[in-house]
A and B are shown apart, each in its own frame.
Chain A
């Protein structure tokens, strides 16, 4: 590279960075520490006996610094620690990690710059949670943030992801651009939950005796073109907030891209096969639209996304003795489909808050024939100046409308929250799901649980 160009580059970089460089004194004055400690107990009763789940407790320290008027840094750590030791032998007893298992990750860590280079342009770089969609929690247009299924009780939660976010505010509109360099798979429940992927062997192999099955992920390479790109334009018209969006990225739930079967035992296949699944991620594009408004005190919202997936094939190899056969079949047909959500909420005099939503398609479901319908409702009421909150949640799932009675799912989610003092929250609730046939909630029915939580913020 030409030295002059290099020097100009360095000067340009300094011009950008120097105004942002704070003195240590300024940093110290504006730094703030906060966060919370959350202690959970989960009592699962979906099996033959009540089990205490190996669920995480969470300590989340947060640090924020505002060294200059238009600069903000934020970082939070997620310490998850578990109640049950994982020692398996005497030699594990000197391993504190097995004695008291923990997981630690940087939950968020970003720099926010307001009015970056030009007025109205805000840029945020780093690991962050990006708002996408205006519906209440169920956001089908949000194909930017990965799912967080580590706590099924909060099954609409999302995980912060590494990204660069730019928002430009001009003429009453907000133009948003996002780039994320990598695919972020969902976080699954500890000690299981992989089955929730639906990533088992295909139904066409039901008659094959598979004696063991392993899986491995094949993440897209780190080419620039394999990143996630998203654009959005949002505004308000006639009192209604709306946005239109485009996302080019990957389906966050993997598909079975390869299956290798190796005859075991006598090598003829009579004793069955050992299988290795390779799970890949399908490139998709999507067009989304959403709207939220208020009509006579009733909150209304709707979101829809047209998903345009790329067709994907699956390779199946079968090795019997020295002979290997290879078969290519369609894994994903590439047909477009629409997922949507419509909802409303209202607060009645007397303080009861009601919320109802219908969602066509959730989470792992893809393809027009695979989308289930979910009807969800919630009723809440606060007492004693918000010290006590009672909530009743419920859900009904229709996996298919033909033969509906054999393909229904249900969920019941009561919760009681008591705040005896500022920053202290005591929660007791239940998560009860079940269903028949092909319903998603049927697959979750072993996760039925009563939970308690103590959360203290600081």
Chain B
């Protein structure tokens, strides 16, 4: 799934060419555009991912899912574990068209896009987190700082942007443009969540986040997402991202 995760998962989708150029002389907007460009660098991605949901007291729950993405707008997620959600599938198409398949009822249901601010299936990632593929569209850079081997950008929500966070503070590597951390803030300036890429590996010529974590500060709840299998640029068909495909069993 890491791949499809937009925002926080920028990291997942956070892929980058092997030979990045220097970022030092570039302004904030250019830097952010470069970060955006590596989010969807592979033409398509398919992955098996394991999610671990961790309570404040340390108790855990496991999720396993299969994730498919093509371009920046087509995403399909199928739940494999646990048993009570096995076969549940989520499809997102352009213009926020979203569908949920409920195997118990053999039913595909159109779901309203207002759900995107909510947590996805009990995780700390929201639908929006898992869908963000372009930060430049929704945020403008208001501050840039340079650290050893990395940049930090402060992003403010653009007027009229349909996103739930008022401000982000994003850190990414100077060498690979992979997002290492994002702090999410609400209108009152309170930090709500933090995304951290805890493992980045080179896969098929892309720098790829293979382990990431999202923390919700109010509840102390964390979700760890680990990549188990990955295929990039395998030529996924458009037919995979249809209601017909949604109904196929896991």
Question: How far does the Cβ of A230 sit from chain B's closest Cβ, in whole Å?
Answer: 15
Question: How far does the Cβ of B75 sit from chain A's closest Cβ, in whole Å?
Answer: 16
Count contacts between A and B, CB distance < 8 Å. 91
Please tell me if the beta carbons of A129 and B106 are within 8 angstroms of each other in the complex. yes
Please tell me if the beta carbons of B244 and A386 are within 8 angstroms of each other in the complex. no
Please tell me if the beta carbons of A423 and B244 are within 8 angstroms of each other in the complex. no
A353 to B127: give the CA distance in the assembly, Å.
15
A129 to B247: give the CA distance in the assembly, Å.
13
With known contacts A347-B118, A385-B123, A457-B83, A299–B108 Cβ distance under 8 A: no
Instruction: Give the size category of A's interface with B.
Output: 35 or more
Contact segment of B66-74, B109-117, B129-137, B175-183: B109-117
Please tell me if the beta carbons of A457 and B108 are within 8 angstroms of each other in the complex. no
Name the residue on A nearest B223 (C-beta). Answer: A385
Return the CB mask of A136-155 against B: 1 if under 8 Å, else 0: 10000000000000000000
Verify if B228 is at the interface (C-beta below 8 Å from A).
no
A349 to B97: give the CA distance in the assembly, Å.
19
Contacts of A349 in B (CB 8 A): 117, 164
Contacts of B162 in A (CB 8 A): 297
Please tell me if the beta carbons of A131 and B83 are within 8 angstroms of each other in the complex. no
Contacts of A457 in B (CB 8 A): 82-84
Return the CB mask of A331-357 against B: 1 if under 8 Å, else 0: 000000000000001111101010000
Name the residue on A nearest B164 (C-beta). Answer: A349
Chain B interfacial residues counted at CB < 8 A: 39
Name the residue on A nearest B162 (C-beta). Answer: A297
Verify if B96 is at the interface (C-beta below 8 Å from A).
yes
With known contacts A169-B242, A347-B115, A386-B122, A129–B105 Cβ distance under 8 A: yes
Contacts of B86 in A (CB 8 A): 34
Verify if B231 is at the interface (C-beta below 8 Å from A).
no
Verify if A241 is at the interface (C-beta below 8 Å from B).
yes
A167 to B110: give the CA distance in the assembly, Å.
19
Please tell me if the beta carbons of A131 and B117 are within 8 angstroms of each other in the complex. no
A114 to B240: give the CA distance in the assembly, Å.
13
Question: How far does the Cβ of A325 sit from chain B's closest Cβ, in whole Å?
Answer: 50
Verify if A303 is at the interface (C-beta below 8 Å from B).
no
Verify if A134 is at the interface (C-beta below 8 Å from B).
yes
With known contacts A298-B112, A422-B62, A458–B106 Cβ distance under 8 A: no
Partner of A346, one of B82, B83, B98, B112: B112
Q: Which of A18-53 contact B (CB under 8 A)?
A: 34, 36
Contacts of B106 in A (CB 8 A): 128-131
A62 to B195: give the CA distance in the assembly, Å.
39
Question: How far does the Cβ of A158 sit from chain B's closest Cβ, in whole Å?
Answer: 9
Verify if A202 is at the interface (C-beta below 8 Å from B).
no
Verify if A72 is at the interface (C-beta below 8 Å from B).
yes
Verify if A425 is at the interface (C-beta below 8 Å from B).
yes
With known contacts A387-B122, A422-B62, A347–B114 Cβ distance under 8 A: yes
Contacts of B244 in A (CB 8 A): 122, 167, 169, 174
Verify if A319 is at the interface (C-beta below 8 Å from B).
no
Contacts of B108 in A (CB 8 A): 131
Contacts of A423 in B (CB 8 A): 82-84
A34 to B82: give the CA distance in the assembly, Å.
11
Verify if B7 is at the interface (C-beta below 8 Å from A).
no
Return the CB mask of B237-250 against A: 1 if under 8 Å, else 0: 00000111000110
Verify if A66 is at the interface (C-beta below 8 Å from B).
yes
Verify if B95 is at the interface (C-beta below 8 Å from A).
yes
With known contacts A294-B96, A347-B118, A386-B119, A299–B84 Cβ distance under 8 A: no
Question: How far does the Cβ of A345 sit from chain B's closest Cβ, in whole Å?
Answer: 6
A455 to B53: give the CA distance in the assembly, Å.
21
A297 to B113: give the CA distance in the assembly, Å.
5
Question: How far does the Cβ of A409 sit from chain B's closest Cβ, in whole Å?
Answer: 26
A443 to B36: give the CA distance in the assembly, Å.
60
Question: How far does the Cβ of A68 sit from chain B's closest Cβ, in whole Å?
Answer: 13
Contacts of A304 in B (CB 8 A): none
Verify if B107 is at the interface (C-beta below 8 Å from A).
yes
Partner of B117, one of A74, A347, A458: A347
A114 to B118: give the CA distance in the assembly, Å.
34
Question: How far does the Cβ of B80 sit from chain A's closest Cβ, in whole Å?
Answer: 11
Please tell me if the beta carbons of A294 and B97 are within 8 angstroms of each other in the complex. yes
Verify if B161 is at the interface (C-beta below 8 Å from A).
no
Verify if B61 is at the interface (C-beta below 8 Å from A).
yes
With known contacts A129-B105, A386-B119, A297–B110 Cβ distance under 8 A: no
Question: How far does the Cβ of B197 sit from chain A's closest Cβ, in whole Å?
Answer: 22
Name the residue on B nearest A145 (C-beta). Answer: B106
Please tell me if the beta carbons of B110 and A292 are within 8 angstroms of each other in the complex. yes
Return the CB mask of A419-458 against B: 1 if under 8 Å, else 0: 0011101000000000000000000000000000000011
Verify if A318 is at the interface (C-beta below 8 Å from B).
no
- What are 6 contact pairs spanning A and B, CB under 8 A? A34-B83, A74-B249, A129-B105, A294-B113, A297-B112, A382-B119
A-B contact sample (15 more), CB < 8 A, given A299-B110, A347-B118: A66-B249, A74-B249, A122-B244, A131-B107, A294-B96, A294-B112, A297-B162, A345-B112, A346-B114, A349-B117, A382-B119, A385-B55, A422-B61, A457-B83, A457-B84
B-side interface residues toward A, CB under 8 Å? Answer: 53, 55, 61-62, 82-84, 86, 95-98, 105-115, 117-119, 121-124, 162, 164, 219, 221, 242-244, 248-249
